[in-house]
Structure 1
């Protein structure tokens, strides 16, 4: 990944530089060539202006004056200068190999200058055996053309000057590439280092170490990814821990009814021939154990479904739900000679999971009916508090100590008085706790003013 980021960033900068600097270099090259040509043309006109008064003179005075001007030019500049008269014959030149009187009228630039027009450009020189850059201008005295001045350079000299000017641009491009490499390295390290650490942490988690956590460092995106990973790892660890505890508790709790069932069936088998009536008693007890085993299995399945779940919420009328559950349980309450009283407003809307609240109320009502004495009451109350709504199921049973109330939501826990009770599984309140966690509710057991227990489910108003 680090290499890909590096190549991507440097490649992007390279493409931008090519798209920007190549046209710029071509433009600057043309500007530099035009500038040099203009400068040479200016020098040619300057020389022409200086020698114009001397051209009507006779040699050797004329040649001496022209040579003096040319020598002065060569002290600061370079190039080959040719001065011709109005007929195109050489008067003087900085090239010692050329003799005065040589006919230059055949050179196109000289011919153009003698017609009164300056000319400049590049052409092949047979004398030099290569391209040369030339500027030829007329020497004027008023409107009369007295001669011409031509300054030439080998094209390589002009090209070198252009390359020298473009070196700055090339240097800037090189510095940009170098800076892009440095920035890309820093960026790639900043991005890839926390990702590499996160990958290593993932490998540790995959190997079975559920305590592995990722460091929240690097850019915001990687920090968020690390937080999500840690939340996932924590959730996964909790699920596996609960799964292990569930398997251990389930195997322990299932062993007792299975053992009792086996003993009852063995005893029934031994007595079926000698005492059919007693054998039938053992068979009936075996059926009871089977019912208990079925109930325990159903409770275990409900608990497994509730663990780790996240239940969706909706706007519900909690008063309607409480009245509905009270009506459903009234039939069983009548068999126990227990009265159910509902204290709730006509309507109270709140955002919560309806199935979770129904299941929690049903578990509370089941426990309350188990302990409520005949001729007593079970009260379902809705309390609208500042930040929550509470549903309270109050019974008039024997009550529970503080330690018992704190442990009541543990799996398979039962009070000492219930330890020999054959119908309970000790999972009802554990299921309540799991449903509350999955739906964002709060559950607790309080001491009731009537001496029993107030089983509470709190629904936050902000949920």
Structure 2
């Protein structure tokens, strides 16, 4: 028993969605057409029967009125009453003697049965008496008693239902055939519609099967009306676009990181070889090599720290804790430490509005240090570096300006890209990695702020940071 249940579950799971939709469509359509057929059949039958009843009652009433007027009961009664409906009429006197009969084939029905009530009689069809099956002629009739001048008459109006029953039997056969044909058509149409509806899903499946880590160029063609399936195809394409962009960035990151690490390692390897050859006997070579190796080690450490920071930032978008703190106090702290470590430039704090922001204090401090460090690196000795912090509406605007070498116009759009350097040779000499501004941009974005750069070559640089205040 359990195995049969499992087989049934497996069968249900293995049915394709298109077939399920087809079956559902066919069942719903079949039920609908069956309900319509039943309503049509029994509704037509009921309405037809009600019409016959009205006609019988009307004729019976007309004949009764005719008799009450004292007119003769004879064969002229039909013409006198202008009866055009195909009814059987019999009139008896109170002794049961037949006074009038308009049809020789009218069935025999007791004239006193069910007086005043519409009734149906069933008469065995004589030609089929000897057959095993029984066939009956159904007749609807109305017996009415009429009294005129102390004389009683019995009026019987009847109508055989054989022809009507035959019509409804044919109608039933037609409706059954229509239902069967409708089911077949619903299966065919349902199969076509389900496949057409599920076509975008099939395209998504085919595209997904073709996509690999090395080939993300496959896309789904979004055609047809703007419905849920087209939205699904568009969403799938957008997802692949983001995935492709992420993988390309990852590849570029790994490639650039490898390239950046290769240079200091090569320098260290070169000085180690130099030490191996002449360092043991030449103090000058020994000192130079040690200093160079120390410098490259510091650069490598800085690079690795920045790489780890970016890796964590990519993985943990909301991994830092935001608290309220005084930005003006932090700005003053960064300004003072810059003055202490840099005696080659004039560092000026122009304005420092008292303002609170909600964020990670250490990250904001790192942001300001990155910008100040860049200004120190790319501003010649004797140049000026200024900090200006002002509250503007719901934001605080921090502007750091220097009189340094500036940035070329064609490089401005790329300076926030990882490992991008406007001047690679000069950047390496200054100890830059090309990651500082990328980190700064990430910190600003994480605090729902904005960062802009205005610069001209040999005319200095202005960096504007906007952060929301509390």
TM over 0.5: yes
For residues 25-44 of structure 1, what are the structure 2 equivalents within 5 Å? 26=42, 29-44=45-60
Contact 1:445 1:456 survives alignment (8 Å): yes
For residues 167-316 of structure 1, what are the structure 2 equivalents within 5 Å? 191-192=197-198, 194-199=200-205, 201-203=207-209, 205=211, 208-210=215-217, 212=219, 214-215=221-222, 217-270=224-277, 282=289, 285-306=292-313
Shift of the alpha carbon at 1:86?
0.9
For residues 392-403 of structure 1, what are the structure 2 equivalents within 5 Å? 392-402=399-409
The one of 69, 74, 93 equivalent to 2:77 is 69
Contact 1:340 1:379 survives alignment (8 Å): yes
- Residues in 1 aligned to 2:188 and 2:62: alpha-carbon distance in whole angstroms: 52
- Residues in 2 aligned to 1:87 and 1:151: alpha-carbon distance in whole angstroms: 19
Shift of the alpha carbon at 1:239?
1.5
- Residues in 2 aligned to 1:217 and 1:171: alpha-carbon distance in whole angstroms: 37
Shift of the alpha carbon at 1:387?
9.8
Shift of the alpha carbon at 1:30?
3.1
- Residues in 1 aligned to 2:359 and 2:21: alpha-carbon distance in whole angstroms: 47
- Residues in 2 aligned to 1:231 and 1:151: alpha-carbon distance in whole angstroms: 81
Contact 1:379 1:395 survives alignment (8 Å): yes
Asked if residue 84 in structure 1 is aligned to residue 100 in structure 2, the reply is no
Residue deviations 1:276-319 (CA, integer Å, cap 9, x gap): 9965764564344333222222222333455698669999879x
Contact 2:379 2:403 survives alignment (8 Å): yes
Contact 1:268 1:280 survives alignment (8 Å): no
- Residues in 2 aligned to 1:197 and 1:363: alpha-carbon distance in whole angstroms: 48
Structure 1 residues 396 and 123: alpha-carbon distance in aligned structure 2, compared to 1, 3 A threshold: same
Q: Please give the TM-score of this superposition, normalised by the length of structure 1.
A: 0.71
Counterpart position of 2:117: 119
Structure 1 residues 54 and 285: alpha-carbon distance in aligned structure 2, compared to 1, 3 A threshold: same
Shift of the alpha carbon at 1:24?
7.3
- Residues in 1 aligned to 2:142 and 2:78: alpha-carbon distance in whole angstroms: 15
Shift of the alpha carbon at 1:324?
0.8
For residues 360-379 of structure 1, what are the structure 2 equivalents within 5 Å? 360-371=367-378, 378-379=385-386
Residue deviations 1:27-59 (CA, integer Å, cap 9, x gap): 55334323312312322333344456789xxxx
Structure 1 residues 366 and 70: alpha-carbon distance in aligned structure 2, compared to 1, 3 A threshold: same
Contact 2:427 2:433 survives alignment (8 Å): no
Contact 2:328 2:355 survives alignment (8 Å): no
- Residues in 2 aligned to 1:285 and 1:97: alpha-carbon distance in whole angstroms: 131
Asked if residue 148 in structure 1 is aligned to residue 164 in structure 2, the reply is no
Contact 1:44 1:151 survives alignment (8 Å): yes
- Residues in 2 aligned to 1:449 and 1:4: alpha-carbon distance in whole angstroms: 68
Counterpart position of 2:340: 334
| 3-state DSSP of counterpart to 2:119 | strand
Residue deviations 1:207-239 (CA, integer Å, cap 9, x gap): 823363643652343454344334323322222
Contact 1:81 1:95 survives alignment (8 Å): yes
Structure 1 residues 98 and 263: alpha-carbon distance in aligned structure 2, compared to 1, 3 A threshold: closer
Structure 1 residues 416 and 186: alpha-carbon distance in aligned structure 2, compared to 1, 3 A threshold: closer
Q: Please give the TM-score of this superposition, normalised by the length of structure 2.
A: 0.71
Counterpart position of 2:142: 136
Counterpart position of 2:440: 432
The one of 391, 396, 402 equivalent to 2:398 is 391
Greater mean alpha carbon deviation, residues 410-419 or residues 242-251: 410-419
Shift of the alpha carbon at 1:334?
0.4
Counterpart position of 1:96: 104
Shift of the alpha carbon at 1:253?
1.6
Counterpart position of 2:111: 110
Shift of the alpha carbon at 1:121?
1.4
- Residues in 1 aligned to 2:363 and 2:149: alpha-carbon distance in whole angstroms: 111
- Residues in 1 aligned to 2:152 and 2:398: alpha-carbon distance in whole angstroms: 119
Counterpart position of 1:58: none
Structure 1 residues 406 and 34: alpha-carbon distance in aligned structure 2, compared to 1, 3 A threshold: closer
Shift of the alpha carbon at 1:450?
11
Greater mean alpha carbon deviation, residues 358-367 or residues 404-413: 404-413
- Could you tell me which runs of 5 or more consecutive residues in structure 2 were left unpaired when the two chains were aligned: 1-16, 127-134
- Residues in 1 aligned to 2:54 and 2:160: alpha-carbon distance in whole angstroms: 16
| 3-state DSSP of counterpart to 2:112 | helix
- Residues in 1 aligned to 2:260 and 2:273: alpha-carbon distance in whole angstroms: 21
The one of 25, 47, 59 equivalent to 2:63 is 47
- Residues in 2 aligned to 1:180 and 1:203: alpha-carbon distance in whole angstroms: 33
| 3-state DSSP of counterpart to 1:96 | coil
